[in-house]
Structure 1
Amino acid sequence: MRRLDRLAALGGLLMLGACAPQESAMPSPPTFTYEGNPLVRDRHTADPAPLVVGDTLYLYVGHDEARGEEMFNITEWLAYSTKDMVTWTDHGPIMRPTDFAWAQKDAWASQVHEKDGRFWFYTTVEHDPATSHGKAIGVAVADNPLGPFVDARGSALVRNEDTAGPHHWDDIDPTVWTEPDGTSWLFWGNAELKYARLAPDMISFSGPIERIDLPDFEEGPWVFKRGDIYYLAYASMDRAISPDERISYATASSIQGPWTWRGEITGSAAKSFTIHPGIIEFRGKWYLFYHVGTLTVGDQAGAIGRRAVAVERMQFDENGLILPVEQTTQGLLLPR
């Protein structure tokens, strides 16, 4: 090919490149600065579930969308992240109940658990009445803490009829713990606290479903460990004192107990009869996430179906017992 012909051909290719549509860069997710409690202020959020991965804390919540006198309408789970507890990134929805083909609605409490480089999303949904009834526990999985999460087994891990609980919502609020030897355990329940050993596949059980009797247990268990002590925090209710939930806890020297009741971590949530603990250590400090009902968004004031996640520092005494946590609007802005 002559030199002029080669130049002409090169020019044509350059023109085609200039005219070809360019792939647009993905916009960065929005961020916001923590300004006290509630943490998220542009929408209603509930049932906080923190997870630390490397230098990042991820927070998974249900998106409360009830309007007027509606009690609950939770159609999706949202995710947020932070590296310093000050600047937060809003990652938007990560999953919806109907992503489980066998589920109908209700993005109730969940927890994401990391094991062997994968992220297991244990959560509560309403089962499709065509095949079961009541609340059920599903499992989704992803290779990234932000998903995409997909149904890991194609059916519920726990259905309402799998346990002899007192009502159709007694199988809710899963929390997961993995021992150093790789053995994992699932805890869950309303009115009755249940637990079972998970199989290595993380989507079935390798042992029987057992029960733990704890004073005033209502729902929302959360298991964690500090040093040699296992902790089991939960939403408790003493109806002789109040119809509102508080957060209590028990301790043990083994994940299988026996569990010793230790009292309350914090009292009832403002303007919400439910409360849900999410407890995590991040950068050497311990935090208690919970929800309240004090946030107004647009024309919708806070209520039982419009809650708002908050966070406080949590500390321990010399014996490893949790010091009482005061719920504040200043939150982490207070010197701690």
Structure 2
Amino acid sequence: MKKLLFALAFTTLSIAAFAQKKSGNPLFPGWYADPEAAIFNQQYYIFPTFSAPYTKQVFLDAFSSKDLVTWKKHEHIVDTAAIKWAWRAMWAPAIVQKEKQYFLFFSANDIQSDQEKGGIGIAVSNKPEGPYKDYLGKPLIDKFYNGAQPIDQFVFRDKDGSYYIIYGGWRHCNIGKLAPDFKSIIPFSKDTLFKEITPEGYVEGPFMFMRNGKYYFMWSEGGWTGPDYSVAYAVADSPFGPFKRIGKILQQDPKVATGAGHHSVINIPNTDEWYIVYHRRPLTEKDGNSRETCMEKMEFDENGLIKPVKITFEGVAERVIKK
């Protein structure tokens, strides 16, 4: 009998231990949105927006993990003290490593016209967790091109080594080619600095990745303060499209949370394992800024289409990246 009880107790403990190997959602405490996820040096990183009123949104934190379960917070990796031209609304960071430096692209000031100061800037550091300093001393993009508000930037490295910035609010999305030193935009022609690649339904929050030679372009739809915020996607043979909307793959679940959107995607190196990192609003919250960062597995069907993602409280299983 004692052996049976011991076996049952051990089994129960084993199940409990196994259950604890899940990340849980949200991944970490606090109101954080627009998460940009990346992998550097066999570690996971998330660079989110500090979700607060614009006048309090004056810094960015980062989080790192070796296993997707335990996350370490890196506070104030950059703020308006380092970015002199920014005074509010620092959000939607995008990160890229080039050689031995890390470039953190961000939006600031939420400008509403070409006459206002702000737009998309760049900070640079020798470590992913910072601290970061202003790279240009001014915004990289501070005007409305093709009707796109200069916010929600993403940096995409193409297979030929070229870097592109993809960005835009106000239902317009642009793509521009970055100079090798990231200090300017290389015009496509005498009259074209940015190409518009806006698909049907696009609102904001663009993201792009490659899989099996195809370009997957994703974006957010709906209003960021409402329950209908969601993520849709398209697939093309070029980073310039044309991108024909396929459908939504991430949206609210009235039993779990609302406002699921503004995401990023990571792929475990040398595998076909994919994760989507996004923000959502708990059912108990009505404030637009009450957003938390979550993660789920992202899978594809036999035709390469993204399967609809089920949002959960459990999150994802522990996953260590081996060298």
Q: TM-score per shorter chain, which class?
A: 0.7 to 0.9
Distance 1:147 1:49 in 2: 15
User: Alignment partner for residue 47 of structure 1, among 21, 29, 34?
Assistant: 34
Partner Cα distance (2:83, 2:51) in 1: 19
1:115 and 2:98 aligned = yes
Q: How does 1:63-74 map to 2 (within 5 A)?
A: 63-66=50-53, 73-74=56-57
1:266 to 247, 250, 253: 250
Q: Which residue of 2 aligns with 1:82?
A: 65
Q: Percent identity?
A: 29
**1:247–1:268 contact (8 Å) kept in structure 2:** no
- Whether the 8 Å contact between 1:48 and 1:276 is mirrored in structure 2 is yes
Q: 1:134 to 1:231 in 2, by over 3 A?
A: farther
Q: How far is 1:303 from its partner?
A: 2.7
Larger Rg: 1
Residue 227 of structure 1, CA deviation: 2.1
8 A contact 2:31–2:291 mirrored in 1: yes
Computed over aligned residues only, the root mean square deviation of the Cα atoms, in angstroms, reads 2.9
- Report how far residue 209 of structure 1 moved: 1.0
The answer to whether the 8 Å contact 1:62/1:107 transfers is yes
- Paired letter, 1:237: G
TM-score normalised by structure 2 residue count = 0.80
Structure 1 gap segments, 5+ residues each: 1-31
Cα distance in 2 for residues equivalent to 1:326 and 1:279 = 15
What's the counterpart of residue 198 of structure 2?
Answer: 213
Query: Any residues of structure 2 matched to 1:189-208 within 5 Å, and which?
Result: 189-190=168-169, 191-207=171-187, 208=193
Alignment size in residue pairs: 287
AA paired with 2:291? R
Match of 2:215 in 1: 230
Q: Is the 8 A contact 1:249 1:264 kept in 2?
A: yes
Q: Is the CA contact (8 Å cut-off) linking 2:216 and 2:234 kept in structure 1?
A: yes
Q: Secondary structure of the equivalent of 1:244? A: coil
TM-score, structure 1 normalization: 0.77
Residues of 2 paired with 1:280 and 1:53: CA distance? 11
2:52 and 2:172 mapped to 1: Cα distance? 28
Name the SS of the counterpart of 1:275 in structure 2.
Answer: strand
Q: Which residue of 2 aligns with 1:38?
A: 26
Aligned 8 A contact 1:295 1:308 in 2: no
Q: Name the SS of the counterpart of 2:316 in structure 1.
A: helix
Which secondary structure does the structure 2 equivalent of 1:249 belong to?
A: strand
How far apart are the structure 2 equivalents of 1:110 and 1:323?
26
Give 1:274 shift: 6.8
2:89 to 106, 111, 124: 106
273, 283, 305: which is aligned to 1:321? 305
Separation in structure 2 between the aligned mates of residue 305 and residue 72 of structure 1, nearest angstrom:
13
- Is contact 2:88-2:108 (8 Å) kept? yes
Following superposition, the deviation at residue 140 of structure 1 comes to 1.1
Task: String of CA shifts for 1:45-98, please: whole Å, max 9, x gaps.
Answer: 1110001113111111112234xxxx8842221111112112221222211134
Instruction: State the alpha-carbon separation in 1 of the partners of residues 130 and 102 from structure 2.
Output: 8
Q: What's 1:143 paired with?
A: 126
Give the Å deviation of 1:200.
0.9
Structure 2 portions without partners, runs of 5+: 1-19, 188-192, 319-323
Mapped partners of 2:24, 2:75: distance in 1: 21
**Is residue 174–residue 186 contact of structure 1 (8 Å, CA) maintained in 2?**
yes
Structure 2 counterpart of 1:266, which letter? L
Letter in structure 2 aligned against 1:226: R
Q: 1:173 aligns with which of 120, 138, 152?
A: 152
Q: 1:289 aligns with which of 252, 257, 277?
A: 277
1:280 counterpart (262, 266, 269)? 266
Q: In the alignment, which residue of structure 2 is the partner of 1:13? A: none
Cα distance 1:328–1:274, how it changes in 2: closer, same or farther (>3 A)? closer
2:151 matches 1:163: no
Deviations 1:106-142 (A, max 9, x none): 121111111222211111100799x951651001111
Is the aligned partner of 1:185 residue 2:164?
yes
Q: What residue identity is the alignment partner of 1:225?
A: M
Distance 1:229 1:213, change over 3 A: same
Contact 1:188 1:221 in 2 (8 A): yes
